[in-house]
Chain A
Amino acid sequence: MLLQRIENIGELTLYYLHDLGRMGLFLLRTLRGGVQQPFRFRAMLRQIREIGANSMGVIFFTAAFTGMVLGLQGYYTLRKFGSEGMLGSAVSLSLLREMGPVLTALMVTGRAGSAMCAEVGIMRNSEQIDALECMAIDPFRYLLMPKFLATMISLPLLTMVFNVVGIFGGYLAGVKLLGVNPGAFFNGMEQSVVNKDIIMGLVKSLVFGLLIVWICTGRGYFVHQIRGAGYGAEAVSRVTTQAVVISSISILLWDYILTAILL
């Protein structure tokens, strides 16, 4: 019994180490695929449309309501201390440093990350990736590099959209609904937001972008080698769920780490 349990733990540890190594090599090979010619510029643009432009609706909606909630909550909290005038700075700092990058990344994971994982998984499953290799076409250059670049370009841009829309939502709730002085709202924002806040948000969104595309395409690429995933369509669906969960958790984990480093 005890021996069996120790053996299971050992096996599981080995599996996770192996998995981590595999994902590391996957990232390295993709980066190498990036410097190989020819670079697939048009494929990358298509991916930006897929990952970036098509996520705009979701981002708009999420950002507007997040900003409005921040406006409401901030107003009632700040009023206790008689400092409603700080609302602009509270809303914009929360958005720029935390909510914007994190929520954008989570939304993109759900919308585009899951789709990328399923796409790559299906391509592996139906031997399309094998076919590329047999034609001596490097799947890392042909298939994965455009996705990596597109995600890492899209995420900072989407985050900026999120921030702008969110601040406007906060303005709507705070100024238009609750009657905070608009001058104070924007003045507070202007005085408290410094370059460092914007850079912090930007760095976060770049790191989150890498995490999303790496985890989601990686899970799809190794769909048959993931523990307990099995084969066929079922494996693709299991691995896609797994990719979304791991990606979301990694985003929150790295958010803490990056905040601790960058603050």
Chain B
Amino acid sequence: MSEDPIIQLREVVKTFGTQRVLDRVNLDIYPGRTTVIAGGSGQGKSVTLKLILGLMKPDSGSILVHGRDITTMNRREMNEIRSHFGVLFQGSALLDSLSVFDNVALPLQERTTLGREQIRKKVLATLIQLGLIGHEEKFPAQLSGGMKKRVGLARALQLQPEIMLFDEPTTGLDPEKTMEIYRLFHETQGKFGYTAIIVSHDIPKVFNLADQVVVLNRGKLVTFDNPEDIQLSQIPEIQAFVKATMGHLYLSSDLE
């Protein structure tokens, strides 16, 4: 890969109390590509995303975005960096007190100087694209899990992020909704050309989207430049993990 990585994790360590969640982790993420971070529950996938977003600080090591270390940045510099990011949180993290429309409009209202009418047009365009039209007056509590994800995606895309982070975008969704989210992911990545980081424990489904798969296991990251290589890994935990999730593939294709 000749290009420079857009995000680099260098010897990152993160502990909570006595629990070492990330143990000298290294990771390079290249522009325009899709990286899947896989691993069992509680292995530190969400923590890794939060470190990249600067929501947490590592105990040691550095995290570079466009070559600049975010671990030493102040709030203003961090906000500047964050304008490159869009995030779809695990539970979508929509603001409960705002309607679907206001949730999607929020980044435009707060971060741009656009007028009311311009914001309305932009929001409606996104809502149409994500199949949310007719739901704009609803509140998050009235939406299904899959619909919340779509609203979350709409909100994250408003400021045309360069990098999109997805925290378990399909966990808890049925196979049909899962395919729908991945279809929207494809569509929006095609349109906006963002770099994607997807956290998922559903390896089979993301196999064909991923340019690189990394597996988090006991604080260590194992990188597979070719996703197929995962199945050849000699690490017992990864073998077990692959076996568990591949078995899941069998089951879900049997059902279909």
Query: Could you list which residues of chain A lie within 8 angstroms of chain B, going by C-beta atoms?
Result: 122-123, 126-128, 130-137, 142
Q: Which residues of B sit under 8 angstroms from A130, Cβ to Cβ?
A: 50, 53, 55, 89, 93
Judged by a CB distance under 8 angstroms, whether B91 is at the interface is yes
Please indicate the chain A residues that have their CB under 8 angstroms from the CB of B83 in the complex. Answer: 136
A123–B107 Cα gap in the complex (Å)?
Answer: 17
Closest 6 CB pairs of A and B: A131-B93, A127-B93, A136-B79, A127-B89, A136-B82, A134-B87
Chain B residues proximal to chain A, CB less than 8 Å: 50, 53, 55, 79, 82-83, 85, 87, 89-91, 93-96, 106-107, 110-111, 159
Beyond contacts A130-B93, A131-B87, A134-B53: 15 other A-B pairs, Cβ-Cβ < 8 A, are A123-B95, A126-B96, A130-B55, A131-B89, A131-B93, A132-B95, A133-B53, A133-B55, A134-B82, A135-B82, A135-B107, A136-B110, A136-B111, A137-B110, A137-B111
Complex CA distance for A61 and B94, rounded to whole angstroms = 38
A118 to chain B, nearest CB (A): 12
Contact between B106 and A134, CB atoms less than 8 A apart: no
Chain A residue, CB-CB nearest to B88? A131
Whether the pair B93, A135 counts as a contact (CB closer than 8 A) is no
List 22 A-B pairs, Cβ < 8 Å.
Answer: A123-B96, A126-B91, A127-B89, A127-B90, A127-B91, A128-B93, A128-B94, A128-B95, A130-B55, A130-B93, A131-B87, A133-B55, A134-B53, A134-B82, A135-B106, A135-B107, A135-B110, A135-B111, A135-B159, A136-B83, A136-B110, A137-B111
Nearest CB in chain B to that of A141: its residue: B110
- Complex CA gap A127/B148 in Å reads 14
Q: Which of A123, A127, A131 has the most CB of B within 10 A?
A: A131
Closest to B89 in A: A127
Does the CB pair A126–B93 fall under 8 Å? yes
Contacts between the two chains (Cβ within 8 Å), count: 49
Given the complex of chains A and B, what is the CA–CA distance between A126 and B97 in angstroms? 13
A136 to B89, CA, bound (A): 15
Residue of A nearest to B83 (CB): A136
| Residue of B85, B96, B110 touching A134 (CB-CB under 8 A) | B85
- Report Cα–Cα, A133/B93, bound state, in Å: 12
* A18 → chain B closest CB, angstroms: 13
CB distance from A74 to the nearest CB of B (A): 45
Which one of B53, B83, B110 has the greatest number of beta carbons of chain A within 10 Å?
Answer: B110
The distance in angstroms between the C-alpha atoms of A18 and B82, with both chains bound, is 29
The docked-state distance in angstroms from the alpha carbon of A136 to that of B85 is 10
Please indicate the chain A residues that have their CB under 8 angstroms from the CB of B94 in the complex: 128, 131
**What is the minimal beta-carbon distance from A115 to any residue of chain B, in angstroms?**
13
Within the assembled complex, what's the spacing in Å between the Cα atoms of A142 and B106?
A: 11
Tell me the complex Cα distance, A142–B93, Å: 16
**How distant is the Cα of A144 from the Cα of B29 in the complex, in angstroms?**
36
- A136 to chain B: closest residue by CB: B79
- Kindly list chain A residues whose C-beta atoms are within 8 Å of the C-beta of B90: 127
- Rounded to whole angstroms, the CA-CA distance of A130 and B106 in the bound complex is 14
CB-CB < 8 A to B55: which residues of A? Answer: 130, 133-134
Docked CA distance A123–B93 (Å): 8
Q: Bound state CA distance, A240 and B17, in angstroms?
A: 24
Closest B residue by C-beta to A132: B95
Chain A proximity of B141: nearest CB distance (Å): 11
A135 to B95, CA, bound (A): 12
Task: Compute how far the CA of A122 lies from the CA of B94 in the bound complex, rounded to whole angstroms.
Answer: 12
Q: Give the complex CA separation of A137 and B95 in angstroms.
A: 13
Q: Give chain A residues whose Cβ lies under 8 Å from the Cβ of B85.
A: 134
